[in-house]
Amino acid sequence: MKKLFTLMVLALICTAANAQNDSTKTDSTRGRSERSDTIRIGNIVIITNGANHRESGSNTSISMERRRHKKLSNISTNWGIVDLGFANYTDKTNYIAATAAQNLVNAPGSSFPLGAGDFKLRAAKSVDVNLWLFMQRLNLIQHHVNLKYGLGLELNNYRFRSNISFKEPGISPYSSNVSIPNAYVIRDSISFSKNKLAADYITVPLMLNFATNPGDNKKGVSLSAGISAGYLYGQRNKQISSQRGKQKNKGDYDLEQFKLSYIAEIGLGPVRLYGSYSPKSIFKNQMDMRPYTLGIRLSNW
């Protein structure tokens, strides 16, 4: 009995000694691994110098690093951009020369020949709608300077105040014995509730872009300027009147096949404005109408 008691006492002493050694070892190890920049909450260790936090007993890691800026791609693409604006032109036509060249045809005995007043527009209803299939931005200098280009459709609609009509080459409306070799314009005999000339282009813009905050498209200022080249694929004179109803006359009205324009865009945060100006007339005859547009661009950048 005494031997059994003695063995039990020895076992208890050895167990206590081992527990003391383990506690000392654990405290020592903990002291080495937990530095002054380490916080322990229960079984979670948080290192405040930007390293990872680990939760013991699981594989979960909590990153406390300061969020870095997202790495920007050298080429970024923006799909489906829409422009909504106004279309107009500066009229520099020499109406005497245009009449002599039969680009303007007046009714016999007309006391008021066609002039600048006949080509004035309803500014609020002359609209420019552009549908850009895509635009890309190519990084040139640290994403602050970029090359911007794309492909899209330009839809220009010029709404006239007067009752002019655009005609293709053919027999004069005033005399069956007179043939007119060029497309021409007349002052019509009826009143139109809607009278517009539409010119549609496939256009490629090319711009140099400057951005103050390339990492966030909703902040900072961006500015783009360059040129665009457009190819005319559609032209029509759309008219509505009580006498003739709705007419959409598609034809060749002597519009230039190509349009070269100076273009610009400015972004103030999420708001983007655009504009364009062509130094050349949209007509290839004596009528000198130089188009320009101004509007808002619905775009990510």
Residues 53 and 153 in one domain: no
| 90 within some domain | yes
The residue with greater pLDDT, 278 or 39, is: 278
Residues 88 and 36 in one domain: no
Residues 54 and 127 in one domain: no
| 7 within some domain | no
pLDDT by residue (tens digit) across 136-177? 999 999 999 999 999 999 999 999 999 999 999 999 999 988
- Tell me which residue has tokens 């654990």: 26
| 134 within some domain | yes
Instruction: Give the containing element (helix H, strand E) for 49.
Output: none
Q: What is the pTM of this model?
A: 0.76
Query: What per-residue confidence (pLDDT) applies to 300?
Result: 84
CA nearest neighbour of 62 among 45, 86, 81, 84: 45
Separation between Cα atoms, residue 285 and residue 235, nearest integer Å: 16
| 26 within some domain | no
Q: What domain range includes position 235?
A: 75-298
Tokens of 75: 């080429």
| 18 within some domain | no
Query: What per-residue confidence (pLDDT) applies to 37?
Result: 56
pLDDT by residue (tens digit) across 11-70? 545 444 454 445 444 444 444 444 445 555 554 555 555 444 444 444 444 444 444 456
| 2 within some domain | no
The residue with greater pLDDT, 265 or 22, is: 265
Query: What is the mean predicted confidence (pLDDT) over 281-292?
Result: 97
Q: Cα-Cα-Cα-Cα dihedral of 198, 185, 165, 278, to 10°? A: 20
Half-sphere exposure in the Cβ direction for 135 (13 Å, CA): 28
Query: What per-residue confidence (pLDDT) applies to 39?
Result: 58
Domain finish residue from 15, 47, 67: 67
Query: What per-residue confidence (pLDDT) applies to 4?
Result: 44
Query: What per-residue confidence (pLDDT) applies to 58?
Result: 43
Query: What per-residue confidence (pLDDT) applies to 222?
Result: 94
Residues 147 and 272 in one domain: yes
Residues 143 and 290 in one domain: yes
CB 48 within 8 A of CB 101: no
Query: What per-residue confidence (pLDDT) applies to 38?
Result: 57
- Cα–Cα distances (Å) from 298 to 129, 131, 211, 267, in that order, read 11, 10, 17, 11
Residues 89 and 52 in one domain: no
DSSP 8-state secondary structure symbol assigned to residue 143: T
Residues 122 and 265 in one domain: yes
- Tell me which residue has tokens 């005609």: 167
Confidence tier at 291 by pLDDT (50, 70, 90)? very high
Residues 95 and 225 in one domain: yes
Domains contained in the chain, number: 2
Residues 115 and 155 in one domain: yes
CATH number where 181 lies: 2.40.128
pLDDT by residue (tens digit) across 105-126? 999 988 899 999 999 999 999 9
CB 259 within 8 A of CB 284: no
